[in-house]
Amino acid sequence: MDDKKVLLTQEGLDELKKEHEELVKVKRPEIVERVSDARDMGDLSENAEYSAAREELSFIDGRIEEIEELIKKAVVVKEESSANGKNKSIAIGSKVNLKIDGKTETYTVVGEWEADPIAKKISHESPLGKALLGKGTGQIVEVEAPAGKVTYTIVSVQ
């Protein structure tokens, strides 16, 4: 990883810390135990359980290292608010109600490490996220998608 700052919402940082704690305090000790038990079974060259446990331990150690690096580089983005609470512009952490083809959908703009399209969390680096940043209620944005241009109307910003 380079020295680039990692933009996260407070919720995203909390989730990373929770995952880190789970890996370090629960999952890693379980895998270390599996490696130890498998080692006690004898010939390591033909021990599939030992190989599988070592591979899983390596994966968990890599994920722990990755999360620690993310946390170290994390910058929590504060939600911006306007003076009167209206006409707020979209920033990381904003919940945005968008009208698309007559339907209204709610999305949250998040840092790239938090993005989860299924949970309707879109990265500020995605085409839609980039188009929304700085915009406000009532504005229309167009995003180039594989199927062509998609037009979104910003219904509200929270």
Q: Is 97 exposed, middle or buried (0-12, 13-18, 19+ CB in 10 A)?
A: middle
What residue type is assigned to position 26 of the chain? Answer: V
pLDDT for 84 equals: 44
Structural domains of the chain, ranges and CATH numbers in brackets? 6-76 (1.10.287.180), 95-157 (3.10.50.30)
pLDDT digit of tens for each residue in the chain (158 aa)?
567 888 898 999 999 999 999 999 999 999 999 999 888 877 666 778 888 999 999 999 999 999 999 999 999 987 654 444 455 889 999 999 999 988 999 999 999 889 999 999 999 999 999 999 999 999 999 999 888 899 999 999 98
Q: How many CB atoms lie within 10 A of CB 3?
A: 5
Instruction: Determine if the pTM surpasses 0.95.
Output: no
What residue type is assigned to position 92 of the chain? Answer: I
Between helix 48-73 and helix 10-22 the angle, nearest 10°, is: 150
What residue type is assigned to position 12 of the chain? Answer: G
Using alpha carbons, list the distances in angstroms from residue 42 to 46, 52, 133.
Answer: 9, 15, 59
Calpha distance 12→8 (Å, rounded): 6
Calpha distance 85→157 (Å, rounded): 10
Token duo for residue 73 = 């580089």
Q: How many CB atoms lie within 10 A of CB 52?
A: 14
What residue type is assigned to position 145 of the chain? Answer: A
Residues belonging to the chain: 158
